[in-house]
Structure 1
Amino acid sequence: MRLRDRRSFSKPEVMIIPMIDIMFFLLVFFMLSTLYMVNIKTVPVNMPKTENAEMQARVNYLVTIKKDGSLYLEDKRIAEKDLLAQAQKAKQQNPNFAVVIRADKDMNYDQLMGLLDRLKGAGITRFGLASDAK
């Protein structure tokens, strides 16, 4: 017993528009979710504001100097001699090793230059100074 005629069947159609909408939705969802996955571990500090600073995505060491002169490697307090030893060891393993320094805008300039000088004495030649955008 046949209910329909074989010739009355239509060919199946693929609906492209709803599939494109779903793909764009997934693309936007994953783009927004990955923005919140990037977690930079730092200590809050008042950095100077600049207009023409460049953003660096790949940073080996992120060092923070607070107004009182205390040093932090990412979010952990560290002694200067330990920082220099770790940086020197990392430089031996990676020739493109770089240190980015986040310094308080009200700190003594002499302290910052002293740290840069001691890092250079330890063999570190690539530096970056971080700032906030205006």
Structure 2
Amino acid sequence: MKLPLGNNEEEPEVSMSPLIDCVFLLLIFFLVSTMTKVKSRDIPVNLPTSEAAVKLKPDDKQAIVGLDSEGNFYWDGQPCTANFLHEQLREVCIATPDRRIRIDMDRDTPFGRFVEVMDACQFYNLNNIGIRTYDEHYNEN
């Protein structure tokens, strides 16, 4: 038996305000968390200048090999040994052989250290290599 609804009973309503508040809070959370995820992989080096350098867009997936003025090695901004650098290049060779490798080298770095890095890249058949040069827009801060 169907009971008739009385005229004085109201239908329940769903308030959208709490839902909108939650969505905005989630949006803010994800924006802030992605901003803190960016890590600087640059090392403090005096980069060489070049008039004929090809400008490429920044790529977060590229591997960065650094060489400071004393010839110390860096992998993605962290100091490392030559053995660790070889291990990382071997892993890149196995996982993604076409991955771009950027070399950040101080202009006063001993040339022999640069040759070591290039030999290691050639040994692991890594050919997508670039050398970072000074750019006034990128290095203005």
TM-score, reference length from structure 2? 0.62
* Partner Cα distance (1:70, 1:23) in 2: 48
Farther off after superposition, 106-115 or 15-24: 106-115
* Partner Cα distance (1:43, 1:82) in 2: 18
SS in 2 for 1:32: helix
How far has the Cα of 1:46 moved from its partner? 3.0
Paired residue for 1:124?
126
* Partner Cα distance (2:31, 2:126) in 1: 35
Residues 17 and 28 (structure 1 numbering): CA distance in 2 closer, same or farther, change over 3 Å?
A: same
Asked if 2 retains the 8 angstrom alpha-carbon contact of 1:45 and 1:103, the reply is no
CA displacement 1:13-68 (0-9 Å, x = unmatched): 2233442243123112211122213445x47313549xx55221213x32111011
Residues 89 and 19 (structure 1 numbering): CA distance in 2 closer, same or farther, change over 3 Å?
A: closer
* Partner Cα distance (1:128, 1:24) in 2: 42
| Structure 1 gap segments, 5+ residues each | none
* Partner Cα distance (1:47, 1:32) in 2: 32
| Structure 2 gap segments, 5+ residues each | 50-54
How far has the Cα of 1:115 moved from its partner? 4.7
* Partner Cα distance (1:109, 1:7) in 2: 91
Higher relative contact order (CA 8 A, sep 6+): 1
Kindly tell me the number of residue pairs found equivalent between the two proteins. 125
Asked if 2 retains the 8 angstrom alpha-carbon contact of 1:47 and 1:102, the reply is no
Residues 28 and 64 (structure 1 numbering): CA distance in 2 closer, same or farther, change over 3 Å?
A: same
TM-score, reference length from structure 1? 0.64
Paired residue for 1:63?
65
How far has the Cα of 1:7 moved from its partner? 2.6
CA RMSD of aligned residues (A): 3.5
